[in-house]
Chain A
Amino acid sequence: MSGSKPDILWAPHQLDRFVVCDSELSLYQVEPAGGSELKAGSLRLSEDTAATLLSINSETPYMKCVAWYLSYDPECLLAVGQANGRVVLTSLGQDHGSRCKELIGKEFVPKHARQCNTLAWNPLDSSWLAAGLDKHRADFSVLIWDICSRYSPEAAVAPEKLRLSAGEPDAGVVVTKPLYELGQNDACLSLCWLPRDQKLLLAGMHRNLAIFDLRNTSQKMFVNTKAVQGVMVDPHFQDRVASFYEGQVAIWDLRKFEKPVLTLTEQPKPLTKVAWCPTRTGLLATLTRDSDIIRLYDMQHTPTPIADETEPTIIERSVQPCDNYIASFAWHPTSQNRMIVVTPNRAMSDFTVFERISLAWSPVTSLMWACGRHLYECTEEGGDPAADKDIATKMRLRALSRYGLDTEQVWRNHVLAGNEDPQLKSLWYTLYFMKQYTEDLDPKSPGHKGSLVYAGIKTIVKSSLGMAETGSRHPWSGAPEKPGEGPSLSEERILALQLCGWINKGTDVDVGPFLSSLVQEGEWERAAAVALFNLDIRRAIQILNEGASSEKGDLNLNVVAMALSGYTDEKNSLWREMCSTLRLQLSDPYLCVMFAFLTSEPGSYDGVLYESKVAVRDRVAFACKFLSDAQLNRYIEKLTNEMKEAGNLEGILLTGLTKDGVDLMESYVDRTGDVQTASYCMLQGSPLDVLKDERVQYWIENYRNLLDAWRFWHKRAEFDIHRSKLDPSSKPLAQVFVSCNFCGKSISYSCSAVPHQGRGFSQYGVSGSPTKSKVTSCPGCRKPLPRCALCLINMGTPVSSCPGGSKSDEKVDLSKDKKLAQFNNWFTWCHNCRHGGHAGHMLSWFRDHAECPVSACSCKCMQLDTTGNLVPAETLQP
């Protein structure tokens, strides 16, 4: 407490109080203070605590050090060491009825006046107080006072009188005879009592650390060192002591006191305080001068008397409790890792040092973390349903809703995905149109277009380059003819339009059905734009009117229709001028492009083509209708690259399921992590070489892995079946063969096990389905098959019903569910004890038993595989 630098102390018993001392002593009480409002007169300590000043004591000037009386009563009794070496007992308590009242005001005076450096109360005998003083030639530097000694009745005249005279320091009782005097002609810088024994005192003397034994004051144990300041015993290991000197902290083991067991890295600035954390083993806090951080040393080292081989691990940490320099700090005696710090200008802050929080995600997006000794779990499930879920959760929910598995109505997959993502919608519609087109192709005609369909519009357009243009111009209906609108439609362009969904199958170029479906879905603006792009202004106006009059329609559509009807072909008309300026204010992109189209110069449709808010399929269809071959090719090329870069799934329309499509999907997956969509999309009809792309395989593997981790094993199996349709090589080989004990040949009857073997089983002369077979002997050598451990009948016989242990409801189940009954015929066995039998018999046995049914076999067959006992997650879902 040099100069005006404040020090801070927690009360040892009243755990919500602390004292700040500089030139005076101020007692504060900590209160919870949630919210932003503070009580008048209280100071904010942290987000949820505040302090109120209870009392101030300025009776003791020249304070050098302060120590809080360790016994509970009287409360708030403090010993203050002064610059002249006197030790004064003073109080901040409001409890004036205390029976130890007479202690307050007592003074303990050394023979020669010099500075008192340190004070320490004996933790075992609460009346002993040790004081460490500066050096004096003819005096001792360590004085131990008994605060109850020399207590004479005349001194404590009456409690009332004492209280009256409390203001005058001289009025108290003056004690001049210490209980013990130690360390002659030496200086004492720091003191602490050893908890091992009441009479052991550790002192940091001038150039050594000394242990004084009060039972024999002539002897002392000492070790020469410079680290003599701030000696403090570790509250958790009573043989471990910390002391410091300048910037260095030394840790001592009192059982081998010759040298420090370790010294901590030296700090550039001198240390001012070092303190063990009372609530946590091996945590030491240090503070250097003019610093705003407190350095913490976490010693992972169990002190043992012998083993010095284990090198201690020290985890060093810095914490910054406040913005300012820290003058002093104090650990809270009981609150875990809590400390209070004070700055030179007496700003205080209440601070908790957090333990390292380790955390882990579970596969189902629940987060678990450990804070200190406590575990916390938090899940995303059940939260706000409106909140945007992470893709991991989305994929799990989509897997549950059989997303991707609707191979007939392919477009329905986006509904299964939650019908919320326009990109997914576009993707699945694209795939739907592609699929529809391939199916409609005449399978007899070996047309080149079949292979083109899944290759995307980019390839289709490329293939049409240089081909002769055929087709007819379409009359501009309902308005004066707009000349030169669009080239004629080649076969490839019609194909592209079909893939865009504008026109249906066949060569008939009619957007009518498409328009009506749009109108039905309430997409008035889009329908109007498509009608207009098909040069049917009348239909467009009609659609807009319809939209305006519909229930949810926007009345403004009428206004738009009105504007539309005023269309004029004249270059300099007012209409044209107004439209080109006002169209930018239209919020709907489709309305915007309609006017862009009408006001554009023939051949330049940038206002339509580069309006990014318009769906890609509409823009592409527009381009197919109006751009020349070279322009179209350039445009498609450019758009494709744009889509690829952005990972926009709408671009699959352009790239198809080609290498380009994989590139696009790659950036989509990079962006979203959605391997599910990527896998299902690529399994929709990609050629084999695309499917064999490393990246596609990688997505598929990862998606399968995800399903496995979620225990969606049924979904994974369904996915594998779906996959093997397109990629037969992904079908796993038969996993198990049962071979005859006698001839060593496979006894499998099943066709499913054979394909990869490349030979049928006809050579065994067995035919028919495996379950119907009544053969109970090896097809190779005609020796009998093993017997079921329960019914003792040779395998191969159909099971009628479970004998013995079967319950009535099971019988009903079996007769109801034929498939299950057939499963009962299966031959199953334990890999550990190699006993087995009919699956149905085995299952019913293990319902009531833990051990194998074979006599004297104690194998716990059913418990061997933990994963086998897990239930697939899908069956648990509602």
Chain B
Amino acid sequence: MFVARSIAADHKDLIHDVSFDFHGRRMATCSSDQSVKVWDKSESGDWHCTASWKTHSGSVWRVTWAHPEFGQVLASCSFDRTAAVWEEIVGESNDKLRGQSHWVKRTTLVDSRTSVTDVKFAPKHMGLMLATCSADGVVRIYEAPDVMNLSQWSLQHEISCKLSCSCISWNPSSSRAHSPMIAVGSDDNSPNVSAKVQIYEYNENTRKELTSSGGPTKFEIHIVAQFDNHNSQVWRVSWNITGTVLASSGDDGCVRLWKANYMDNWKCTGILKGNGSPVNGSSSQQGISNASLGSNNPNLQNSLNGSSASRKHS
């Protein structure tokens, strides 16, 4: 079903994040080499690096695109305790000829006292909003009141999660029927912490972010499926556009694709090794049969990307 091909990324160190823009024609990558690269897809489907610049003074953990209606805007976050917002500007014409684009830093968000581990733009109907989370467990929500001026960001909310946060995700609902929510995942590895995924909902009446973590308080949270096939820690999960295929990567160095059948049974439909080579089915299922070890908290990265699922009213 899936065939992988390699792209010459030319990053000098580990690539930490890959992110597509709304149309899937542009891509951004970030790396421990402290740089961010922007890639454009040509008509023939090849990816060309059109910008590469040093963004932070530490490993860049995540990079994310704003909705194109706000312009070509990126946000990055780093170990250097900052998050930054970048905008592409129309550069000199010879830049354009060389196929290079020019990105300028519009703002640096310096509120965090520790490494900023994730950054995400809110769904577009909320305006230009940005959420960051940091290793000391603080989620911060910023807003640019004037979408034409990306250098003005005001800190709207600060939520303390009390746990080291590793990833955040907005609910993608594009309708106003659901209040905005943020899911926060923690990489805390102590076994006695239960709520490693917390959901915060914005309450219009009190103008505050309400919390619901793990337990069945306001949201009914139940496990639909549980996958043990990675036999180890799971690093990243990502939904496709409809929320019907889930991709996961884990400590076994494989990328797995999951799909539910009509009975709501989630099945693994494809396994690919991290280096792109296909896994021959028989041997991949061998290996270590016992369950996961260590702190096995699947990151909630990029999850809830899907836009289709109709939600039951809670």
Contact = CB atoms under 8 A, between A and B. Distances in A.
Interface of A: 47, 281, 293, 300, 302, 310-311, 313, 315-320, 322-323, 352, 354-380, 382-384, 387, 390-392, 395, 666, 669-675, 694-695, 697-699, 701-702, 705-706, 708-711, 850, 860, 863-864, 866-867, 870, 876
A863 B71 CA distance: 12
Given A373-B12, A706-B241, A867-B68, A363 B20 contact: yes
Q: Choose among A352, A360, A367, A675 the residue with the greatest number of B CB atoms under 10 Å from its CB.
A: A360
Contact of A370 (B9, B47, B58, B257): B9
Given A362-B20, A702-B308, A311 B114 contact: yes
Interface string B168-204: 0000011101000000000101000000000000000
Contact of B13 (A281, A352, A673): A281
A709 B22 contact: yes
B18 A373 contact: no
B4 interface: yes
Contact of B283 (A47, A354, A378, A671): A47
Contact of B18 (A313, A354, A358, A866): A358
Contact of B7 (A310, A375, A850): A375
A93 B19 CA distance: 51
Nearest to A396: B241
A361 B238 contact: yes
Interface in B99-117: 114-115
Contacts of A392: 240-242, 244-245
Contacts of A319: 232, 251
A391 B9 CA distance: 31
B215 interface: no
A695 B7 contact: no
16 contacts: A281-B13, A320-B293, A357-B249, A361-B240, A366-B24, A372-B15, A375-B8, A375-B47, A376-B5, A376-B7, A376-B274, A390-B242, A673-B308, A675-B308, A698-B175, A850-B96
Given A300-B79, A850-B93, A357 B274 contact: yes
The main secondary structure of chain B at its interface with chain A is: loop
A57 B174 CA distance: 71
Given A317-B294, A698-B311, A699-B308, 15 more contacts: A300-B79, A315-B187, A320-B293, A357-B236, A357-B255, A360-B20, A363-B23, A373-B9, A375-B6, A376-B7, A382-B3, A384-B1, A390-B244, A673-B243, A697-B177
* Count class of interface residues, chain B: 35 or more
Contact of A866 (B3, B88, B239, B243): B88
B221 interface: no
B248 to A, nearest CB: 8
A705 B16 CA distance: 28
Nearest to A265: B189
Contacts of A860: 90, 93
B17 interface: yes
A374 B10 CA distance: 8
A387 B90 contact: no
- Return the 7 tightest CB-CB contacts between A and B, nearest first: A354-B253, A370-B15, A357-B249, A362-B24, A371-B274, A318-B294, A378-B4
B102 to A, nearest CB: 11
Interface stretch (B137-145, B153-161, B206-214, B298-306): B298-306
B202 to A, nearest CB: 18
A313 B252 contact: no
A320 B2 contact: no
A98 to B, nearest CB: 37
Contact of A673 (B29, B72, B238, B306): B306
Q: Choose among B12, B15, B231 the residue with the greatest number of A CB atoms under 10 Å from its CB.
A: B15
Contacts of B3: 378-379, 382-383
B4 A377 contact: yes
Contacts of A698: 173, 175, 177, 310-311
A272 to B, nearest CB: 19
Interface of B: 1-9, 11-20, 22-25, 27, 29, 31-32, 43, 47, 58-59, 68-69, 71-72, 79, 88, 90, 93, 96, 114-115, 135, 173-175, 177, 187, 189, 231-233, 235-236, 238-245, 247, 249-253, 255, 257, 259, 262, 264, 272, 274-276, 283, 288, 293-295, 301-302, 305-312
Given A313-B115, A359-B255, A379 B2 contact: yes
A374 B9 contact: yes
A322 B90 CA distance: 54
Contacts of A710: 23
A673 B309 contact: yes
A33 to B, nearest CB: 12
B68 A367 contact: no
Contact of A669 (B25, B135, B251, B310): B310
A674 B243 CA distance: 10
A390 to B, nearest CB: 5
B24 to A, nearest CB: 4
Given A300-B79, A373-B11, A390 B310 contact: no
B262 to A, nearest CB: 7
B4 A705 contact: no
Nearest to A697: B175
Contacts of B9: 370, 373-375
B134 to A, nearest CB: 11
B227 to A, nearest CB: 15
Contacts of B243: 673
A19 to B, nearest CB: 26
Contacts of B244: 390-392, 672-673
B6 to A, nearest CB: 6
B286 to A, nearest CB: 9
A376 B3 CA distance: 10
Nearest to B27: A368
Q: Choose among A356, A383, A391 the residue with the greatest number of B CB atoms under 10 Å from its CB.
A: A356
Given A302-B58, A357-B236, A383-B1, A313 B135 contact: yes
A666 B235 contact: no
Given A313-B79, A378-B5, A860-B90, A372 B238 contact: no
A294 to B, nearest CB: 11
A324 to B, nearest CB: 11
Given A365-B241, A376-B4, A702 B307 contact: yes
A281 B32 CA distance: 10
Contacts of A395: 242
Q: Choose among B24, B135, B293, B301 the residue with the greatest number of A CB atoms under 10 Å from its CB.
A: B24
A302 B69 CA distance: 38
A370 B177 contact: no
A404 B22 CA distance: 25
A375 B15 contact: yes
B14 to A, nearest CB: 6
A320 B288 contact: yes
